[in-house]
């Protein structure tokens, strides 16, 4: 019993790490690769979750859909929807320093939150969308969890290989070389703007996919499932701690942060309930503090970005 | 005669690269000294070394009896050297008068004598003292920049290409102002792209190339030197 | 709908809300201008200010005393945050500080939630009836809000235009390198910036709490409108931040006439994107980062 419980917990944790690792990879494309500050990760995540839910669930009263489409189509739709939302935002904001993008993405996340709450014909309001199909959901609990973990692992591996390939492509190297040099970026003009836009859209699409995987795993998605600030922030600390610019670092950081995060939750759940509520906020405080410490003392993260030619020498010169 | 400023065998640059190799020069009190040389010779860099904006790895810079080699710019300003950068050398969104006031930021007490001095040197500015500096023409901006630098009553004024982009008429005017400034007791070290005109007007000159001393002498001597002429004055 | 109705139900509340945004936007625009990054913790700093004032009011201080005390305390906290966190990142790309400020926002909010909980609070119980002046229905606290904004802007503008350190702030905003060459001490200018921005930010939180209620998320919700106001007015322009704040506040209140009420908060976002698209320098020609 004890062992089975542990195994189940490990599976659960593995699935969540996989999903968050997708978000961190998406953010790594945007930040680690192109220097774009996305502070609305939770928004793209939510769009992906709801889109896939609407596309794949059975027809329901009182809301659009479900369209009862195959799972893969739902995931594809999740990526497309998240990318489509990223596109105009990127188009407008990428001409400027990333500060504006940060604010705009905070705005996007807020508006997505508003839409989720106030458009019941789309999202079924506060009750959320339930009965989302889960692949291999009919199997025994543990087996089903294992199967889902395998799916998440495959998706993550494919995403990792694709992102890694882009990072090492010639234009990937160029992007990183100019990432930290605003002047050079401006001098390169249009060509760079396009690449940045692509990076922003692809990153957002991966976040949407992460949201879809989350919704299908939970079999439901409700507005409460997504705490915008916390979700966004966790992904940031995962990437920064792991090592932005390094895909393996992003995945490692996700695992480390998620384990600390959920272990601390287990610890604080033991407290009497009046303290448990406060403990949740203390954990948030500590995660914020952790970011400060990493930014200050270990800005390159656990696995620093591999030195790849021009990118570093340029930085050193400044 | 003891020099006001002496650079002895200064080696240094930005970051790791040494742009200056063993550069030596001096400026006497009440003297206009010009640094000329081809592009990339290290002219502006030599001047920035004086003002503490460079990593100096060898040699020394002595000003008025103090070794200022590794001093910070704000300390150097207080000691009596003012610097006018080539670009972005005014506060665009502040009036002419406020630009001067910022120049005297470190000065305590009454500023009226300093204003008088600057406005006497630049009568044009006095009439337009409330005008925003960013709306002025290039020549007038240069005057504001020099005026700002003179507010602290420096003993030495550093000018980085003060005539860059100016019409010949304004160039003459700036040179004339430099002479007037010198006559009030301020030594001037300036970097110039217009070598012929600058050597003709300066008391002495240094020719730098590839970050090293090449020639030195009075303006007239350098102009007469065949090698200097061939090197970069276009014959 | 007649004119009075429009004024009473949309214009006056819009101006009051706009004044609150403006108080925060002034700080955002000053921080942009002098430190050159967007301060994402500004909303939550306002929340903290509102709750500090609550503690003082609950301890028996009249709001008239609590407000200046809160402003002073929040200014000190802002300086502390800068010295403790942002100052160490000053030589790194500015976006790193933006990220740090997002973390600070989370930390400040967590402190508020631990100390004061997540339930809504008010400075005083009971319903306040508006006074009627020539048909205009205005509550006292609304008048106070408007009056405070006007007073704060007049004092700040005089300070920036006339005083030596006010001019130093403008110089640092205008040309930081030249300001340093002129011997202006940038550490003092930065500290001054945080005093002004922190104090006004606290006031904005207090007035939001006074006109609505205090919640741990109240400031986060103001972040977008405050930034929209700063960009709309022109980054670096105090008078622009005020103008921008008032326009954003009015736009939010008037949006109810054409949009469902839930989407009030989307107006700020729409204004922000629109300005970035057509005129990123803002109405009064500010900076563009």
Q: What is the DSSP letter of B62?
A: E
Assess whether pLDDT exceeds 60 at residue A317. Answer: no
Q: Taking CB atoms and an 8 Å limit, are C96 and A291 in contact across chains?
A: no
Distance in angstroms (rounded) separating the CA atoms of residues A158 and A152: 10
C-chain residue closest to B87, CA distance: C178
Q: Tokens 């504001």 appear where? A: B144
Task: Tell me how close the Cα of B15 comes to any Cα of chain A, in angstroms.
Answer: 6
- ipTM associated with this complex: 0.91
Angle at A283 between CA A278 and CA A289, to 5 degrees: 130
Q: What is the pLDDT of residue A188?
A: 67
Beta strand pairing call for B5-13 and B20-27? antiparallel
Instruction: Confirm whether A318 is domain-assigned.
Output: no
Q: What is the pLDDT of residue A182?
A: 61
Assess whether pLDDT exceeds 90 at residue A184. Answer: no
Residue B46 contacts residue B216 (beta carbons within 8 Å):
no
Q: What is the pLDDT of residue B235?
A: 39
Average pLDDT over residues C235-250: 95
Assess whether pLDDT exceeds 60 at residue A28. Answer: yes
Q: What is the pLDDT of residue B107?
A: 87
Instruction: Confirm whether C227 is domain-assigned.
Output: no
Spell out which residues of chain B touch residue A317, defining contact as CB-CB under 8 Å: 14-15
The number of distinct structural domains making up chain A is: 1
Assess whether pLDDT exceeds 90 at residue A274. Answer: no
Instruction: Confirm whether C167 is domain-assigned.
Output: yes
Q: Tell me the pLDDT band of A1, cut-offs 50, 70 and 90.
A: low
> Cβ of C188 under 8 Å from any chain A Cβ?
no
Mean pLDDT of the residues in chain A? 86
Spell out which residues of chain B touch residue A316, defining contact as CB-CB under 8 Å: 15
C-chain residue closest to B92, CA distance: C174
The number of distinct structural domains making up chain C is: 1
Instruction: Give the residue among A74, A117, A90 at the shortest CA–CA distance from A34.
Output: A90
> Cβ of C277 under 8 Å from any chain A Cβ?
yes
Per the structure, the complete domain to which residue C31 belongs is given by 25-222
Chains in contact with A, where contact requires at least 3 CB pairs less than 8 Å apart? B, C
Q: Which positions ≥6 away from A144 have C-beta within 8 Å?
A: A134, A136, A137, A138
Instruction: Confirm whether C59 is domain-assigned.
Output: yes
Average pLDDT over residues C193-203: 98
Distance in angstroms (rounded) separating the CA atoms of residues B190 and B83: 10
Task: Compare A179 and B153 and report the one with higher pLDDT.
Answer: B153
Strand-pair partners of B83: B158
- Exposed / middle / buried, residue A55 (Cβ in 10 Å: 0-12, 13-18, 19+): buried
Instruction: Confirm whether A301 is domain-assigned.
Output: no
Residue A22 contacts residue A41 (beta carbons within 8 Å):
no
Answer positive or negative: Cα dihedral of B97, B98, B102, B107.
positive
Chains in contact with C, where contact requires at least 3 CB pairs less than 8 Å apart? A, B
- CA C240 to chain CA centroid, nearest Å: 13
Q: Taking CB atoms and an 8 Å limit, are A278 and C89 in contact across chains?
A: no
Q: Which positions ≥6 away from A174 have C-beta within 8 Å?
A: none
Q: Tokens 């040179």 appear where? A: B175
Per the structure, the complete domain to which residue A167 belongs is given by 2-227
Q: What is the pLDDT of residue A185?
A: 64
Q: Tell me the pLDDT band of A63, cut-offs 50, 70 and 90.
A: confident
Point out the least confidently predicted range of A30-44, C23-37, C109-123, C127-141: C127-141
For residue C211 the two structure tokens come to: 């006109």
How many CA atoms are closer than 13 Å to the CA of C215, on its beta-carbon side?
9
Spell out which residues of chain C touch residue A299, defining contact as CB-CB under 8 Å: 92, 96
Distance in angstroms (rounded) separating the CA atoms of residues B43 and B62: 19
Q: Taking CB atoms and an 8 Å limit, are C40 and A92 in contact across chains?
A: no
Distance in angstroms (rounded) separating the CA atoms of residues A161 and A167: 10
For residue C220 the two structure tokens come to: 């986060």
Assess whether pLDDT exceeds 80 at residue A5. Answer: yes
Q: Tell me the pLDDT band of C62, cut-offs 50, 70 and 90.
A: very high
Q: What is the pLDDT of residue C183?
A: 86
pLDDT tens, residue by residue, A89-135: 999 998 888 889 999 999 999 999 989 988 888 888 888 888 888 88
Average pLDDT over residues A15-38: 93
- Helices (H), ranges, A37-70: 41-56
Rg (CA), chain B: 17
Q: Tell me the pLDDT band of A59, cut-offs 50, 70 and 90.
A: confident
Instruction: Give the residue among B207, B232, B188 at the shortest CA–CA distance from B4.
Output: B188
Average pLDDT over residues B28-41: 89
Q: Tokens 């329901």 appear where? A: A60
pLDDT tens, residue by residue, B96-147: 999 999 999 988 888 999 999 999 999 989 999 999 999 998 889 999 999 9
Residue to substitute from C93, C225, C278, interface A, most A β-carbons within 10 A: C93
Point out the least confidently predicted range of C70-84, C204-218, C269-283: C269-283
> Concatenated DSSP letters for C143-154?
HHHHHHHHHHHH
Q: What is the pLDDT of residue A244?
A: 87
Residue B190 contacts residue B159 (beta carbons within 8 Å):
yes
Spell out which residues of chain A touch residue B19, defining contact as CB-CB under 8 Å: none
Q: What is the pLDDT of residue A190?
A: 66
Instruction: Confirm whether A60 is domain-assigned.
Output: yes
Q: Residue B27: helix, strand or coil by DSSP? A: strand
Average pLDDT over residues C129-141: 83
> Cβ of A318 under 8 Å from any chain C Cβ?
no
Assess whether pLDDT exceeds 90 at residue A213. Answer: yes
A-chain residue closest to C224, CA distance: A107
Instruction: Confirm whether A61 is domain-assigned.
Output: yes
Q: Tokens 């807020």 appear where? A: A110
Q: Tell me the pLDDT band of A271, cut-offs 50, 70 and 90.
A: confident
Distance in angstroms (rounded) separating the CA atoms of residues A50 and A116: 9
Angle at B136 between CA C163 and CA B182, to 5 degrees: 85
Q: Residue A128: helix, strand or coil by DSSP? A: coil
Task: Tell me how close the Cα of B167 comes to any Cα of chain C, in angstroms.
Answer: 25
Average pLDDT over residues A213-227: 87
Instruction: Confirm whether C102 is domain-assigned.
Output: yes
A-chain residue closest to C275, CA distance: A92
B-chain residue closest to C165, CA distance: B105
Task: Tell me how close the Cα of A295 comes to any Cα of chain C, in angstroms.
Answer: 7
Longest dimension (CA), chain C: 60
- CA B121 to chain CA centroid, nearest Å: 17
Task: Tell me how close the Cα of A291 comes to any Cα of chain C, in angstroms.
Answer: 7
Instruction: Confirm whether C285 is domain-assigned.
Output: no
Instruction: Give the residue among C12, C13, C24, C1 at the shortest CA–CA distance from C233.
Output: C24
Assess whether pLDDT exceeds 90 at residue A156. Answer: yes
Assess whether pLDDT exceeds 70 at residue C25. Answer: yes
Spell out which residues of chain A touch residue B14, defining contact as CB-CB under 8 Å: 317
Assess whether pLDDT exceeds 60 at residue C221. Answer: yes
Spell out which residues of chain C touch residue A182, defining contact as CB-CB under 8 Å: 93
Q: Where are the domains of chain B?
A: 91-150
Assess whether pLDDT exceeds 80 at residue B206. Answer: yes
Residue B32 contacts residue B179 (beta carbons within 8 Å):
yes
Instruction: Give the residue among A157, A137, A159, A158 at the shortest CA–CA distance from A148.
Output: A137
Identify which of C37, C88, C221 has the shortest CB distance to residue A99. Answer: C37
Distance in angstroms (rounded) separating the CA atoms of residues B81 and B84: 10
Average pLDDT over residues A279-307: 89
Spell out which residues of chain A touch residue C223, defining contact as CB-CB under 8 Å: 103, 106
pLDDT tens, residue by residue, B155-187: 999 999 999 888 888 889 899 999 999 999 999
For residue C87 the two structure tokens come to: 């100052």
Instruction: Give the residue among C220, C216, C222, C282 at the shortest CA–CA distance from C252.
Output: C222
B-chain residue closest to A317, CA distance: B15
B-chain residue closest to C175, CA distance: B91
Distance in angstroms (rounded) separating the CA atoms of residues C32 and C173: 9
Mean pLDDT of the residues in chain B? 89
Q: Residue A202: helix, strand or coil by DSSP? A: helix
Q: Taking CB atoms and an 8 Å limit, are A285 and C99 in contact across chains?
A: no
| H-run or E-run covering B82 | strand B81-84
> Cβ of A295 under 8 Å from any chain C Cβ?
yes
Distance in angstroms (rounded) separating the CA atoms of residues C205 and C75: 13
Spell out which residues of chain C touch residue A97, defining contact as CB-CB under 8 Å: 94-95, 289
Q: Residue B45: helix, strand or coil by DSSP? A: helix
| Torsion angles phi and psi, residue B135, rounded to 5 | -90, 0
Residue A220 contacts residue A129 (beta carbons within 8 Å):
yes
Point out the least confidently predicted range of B124-138, C115-129, C240-254: C115-129
Spell out which residues of chain B touch residue C182, defining contact as CB-CB under 8 Å: 77, 102-103, 105-106, 148
Instruction: Confirm whether C240 is domain-assigned.
Output: no
For residue C132 the two structure tokens come to: 């009627």
Q: Taking CB atoms and an 8 Å limit, are C88 and A296 in contact across chains?
A: yes
Residue A40 contacts residue A232 (beta carbons within 8 Å):
yes
What are the counts of helices (DSSP H) followed by strands (DSSP E) for chain C?
12, 2
Task: Tell me how close the Cα of C243 comes to any Cα of chain B, in angstroms.
Answer: 20
Residue B197 contacts residue B38 (beta carbons within 8 Å):
no
């Amino acid at each position: 019993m004890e062992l089975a419980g542990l195994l189940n917990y490990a599976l659960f944790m593995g699935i969540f790490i996989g999903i968050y690792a997708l978000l961190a990879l998406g953010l790594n494309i945007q930040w680690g690769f192109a220097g774009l500050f996305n502070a609305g990760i939770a928004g793209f995540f939510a769009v992906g979750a709801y889109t896939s839910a609407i596309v794949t669930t059975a027809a329901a009263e009182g809301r659009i859909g479900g369209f009862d489409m195959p799972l893969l189509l739902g995931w594809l739709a999740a990526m497309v929807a998240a990318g489509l939302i990223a596109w105009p935002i990127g188009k407008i904001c990428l001409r400027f320093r990333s500060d504006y993008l940060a604010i705009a993405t905070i705005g996007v996340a807020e508006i997505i939150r508003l839409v989720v709450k106030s458009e019941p014909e789309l999202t079924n309001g506060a009750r959320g969308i339930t009965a989302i199909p889960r692949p291999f959901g009919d199997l025994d609990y543990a087996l089903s969890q294992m199967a889902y973990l395998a799916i998440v692992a495959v998706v993550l591996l494919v995403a990792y290989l694709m992102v890694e390939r882009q990072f090492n492509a010639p234009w990937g190297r160029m992007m990183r070389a100019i990432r930290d040099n605003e002047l050079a970026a401006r001098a390169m003009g249009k060509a760079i703007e396009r690449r940045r836009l692509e990076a922003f859209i692809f990153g957002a699409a991966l976040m949407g996919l992460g949201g879809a995987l989350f919704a299908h795993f939970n079999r439901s998605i409700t507005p409460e499932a997504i705490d915008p600030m916390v979700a966004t922030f966790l992904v940031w600390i995962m990437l920064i701690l792991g090592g932005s610019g390094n895909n393996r670092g992003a995945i490692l950081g996700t695992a480390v942060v998620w384990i600390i995060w959920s272990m601390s939750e287990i610890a604080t759940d033991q407290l009497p309930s009046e303290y448990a509520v406060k403990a949740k906020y203390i954990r948030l405080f500590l995660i914020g503090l952790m970011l400060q410490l990493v930014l200050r003392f270990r800005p390159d993260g656990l696995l620093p970005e591999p030195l790849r030619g021009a990118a570093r020498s340029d930085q050193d010169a400044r | 005669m003891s020099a006001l400023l002496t650079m002895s065998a200064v080696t240094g640059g930005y970051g790791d690269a040494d742009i200056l190799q063993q550069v030596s020069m001096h400026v006497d009190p009440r003297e206009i000294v010009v640094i000329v040389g081809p592009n990339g010779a290290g002219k502006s860099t030599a001047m920035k070394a004086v003002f503490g904006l460079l990593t100096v790895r060898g040699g020394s810079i002595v000003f008025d009896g103090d070794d200022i080699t590794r001093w910070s710019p704000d300390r150097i300003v207080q000691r009596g050297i003012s610097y006018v950068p080539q670009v972005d050398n005014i506060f665009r969104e502040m009036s002419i008068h406020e630009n001067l006031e910022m120049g005297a930021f470190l000065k305590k007490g009454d500023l009226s004598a300093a204003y008088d001095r600057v406005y006497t040197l630049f009568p044009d500015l006095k009439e337009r003292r409330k005008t925003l500096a960013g709306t002025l023409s290039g020549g007038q901006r240069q005057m504001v920049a020099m005026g700002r630098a003179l507010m602290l009553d420096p003993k030495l004024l550093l000018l980085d290409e003060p005539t860059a982009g100016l019409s010949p008429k304004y160039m003459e005017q700036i040179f004339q102002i430099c002479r007037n400034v010198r006559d009030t007791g301020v030594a001037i070290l300036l970097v110039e792209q217009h070598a012929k005109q600058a050597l003709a007007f300066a008391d002495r000159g240094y020719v730098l190339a590839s970050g090293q001393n090449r020639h030195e002498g009075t303006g007239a001597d350098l102009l007469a030197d065949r090698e200097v002429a061939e090197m970069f004055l276009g014959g | 709908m007649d004119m009075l109705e429009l004024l009473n139900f949309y214009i006056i509340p819009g101006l009051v809300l706009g004044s609150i945004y403006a108080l925060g936007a002034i700080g955002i625009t000053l921080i942009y201008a002098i430190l050159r990054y967007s301060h994402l913790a500004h909303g939550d700093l306002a929340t903290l200010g509102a709750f500090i004032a609550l503690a003082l009011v609950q301890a028996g201080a009249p709001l008239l005393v609590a407000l200046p005390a809160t402003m002073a305390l929040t200014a000190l906290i802002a300086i502390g945050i800068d010295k403790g966190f942002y100052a160490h990142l000053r030589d790194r790309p500015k976006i790193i500080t933006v990220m740090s400020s997002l973390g600070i926002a989370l930390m400040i909010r967590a402190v508020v939630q631990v100390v004061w909980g997540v339930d809504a609070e008010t400075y005083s119980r009971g319903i306040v009836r508006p006074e009627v002046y020539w048909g205009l229905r205005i509550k006292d606290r609304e008048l106070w809000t408007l009056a405070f904004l006007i007073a704060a802007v007049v004092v700040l503008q005089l300070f920036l235009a006339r005083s030596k350190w006010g001019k130093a702030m403008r110089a640092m905003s205008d040309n930081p390198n030249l300001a340093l060459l002129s011997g202006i001490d940038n550490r003092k200018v930065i500290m001054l910036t945080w005093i002004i921005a922190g104090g006004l930010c606290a006031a904005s939180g207090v007035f939001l709490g006074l006109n609505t209620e205090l919640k741990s998320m109240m400031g986060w919700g103001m972040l977008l409108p405050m930034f929209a106001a700063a960009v709309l007015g022109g980054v670096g322009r105090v008078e622009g931040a005020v103008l921008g704040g008032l326009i954003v506040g009015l736009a939010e209140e008037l949006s109810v006439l054409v949009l469902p009420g839930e989407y009030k908060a989307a107006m700020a976002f729409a204004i922000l994107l629109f300005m970035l698209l057509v005129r990123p320098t803002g109405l009064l020609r500010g900076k563009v980062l």
